[in-house]
């Protein structure tokens, strides 16, 4: 029997509401604050129960990729049907395409807080 269940990914960031809004729009998942008056923790939830949480932290420093002075420690890979269409839509949301693109079946972007994430074709 499992000791725990329902793991959540929590992403540190300088503005929890803004980054939750970015990923909520990218995945078409609704954004909700945790509690009525909390403004430093937001969540997005998928229809199948998936959850990504966003925690606002003071003195946030963005990870550097591919460098390791401030390692990324984690990143998201999301599956898309068409890389070109997904890239255009992702850039319109506020992402930045990273200058280093080491593959042909995925593309590396930085979210508005500087976290690397990849759009991948299946």
**Cα 17 to Cα 35: distance, rounded to the nearest angstrom:** 13
87: how many CB neighbours lie within 10 A of its CB? 16
In angstroms, the CA 24 to CA 11 distance is 13
Rounded Cα distance, 6 and 4, in Å: 7
Which residue in 64, 62, 84, 85 sits closest to 12, CA to CA? 62
- Whole-structure pTM over 0.85, yes or no? no
Topology adopted by domain 9-60+73-121 = 2,3-Dihydroxybiphenyl 1,2-Dioxygenase; domain 1 (3.10.180)
| CA 98, chain centre distance (Å) | 15
pLDDT tens digit sequence for 61-114: 999 888 888 887 788 889 999 999 999 999 999 999 999 999 899 999 999 999
């Amino acid at each position: 029997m499992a000791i725990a269940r329902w793991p959540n990914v929590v992403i540190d960031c300088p503005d929890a509401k803004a980054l939750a809004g970015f990923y909520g729009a990218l995945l078409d998942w609704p954004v909700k604050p945790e509690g009525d008056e909390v403004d430093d923790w937001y969540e997005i939830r998928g229809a199948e129960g998936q959850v990504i949480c966003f925690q606002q932290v003071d003195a946030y420093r963005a990870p550097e990729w591919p460098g390791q002075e401030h390692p990324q420690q984690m990143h998201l890979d999301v599956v898309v049907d068409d890389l070109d269409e997904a890239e255009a839509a992702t850039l319109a949301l506020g992402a930045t395409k990273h200058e280093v693109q080491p593959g042909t079946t995925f593309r590396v972007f930085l979210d508005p807080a500087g976290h690397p994430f990849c759009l991948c074709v299946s």
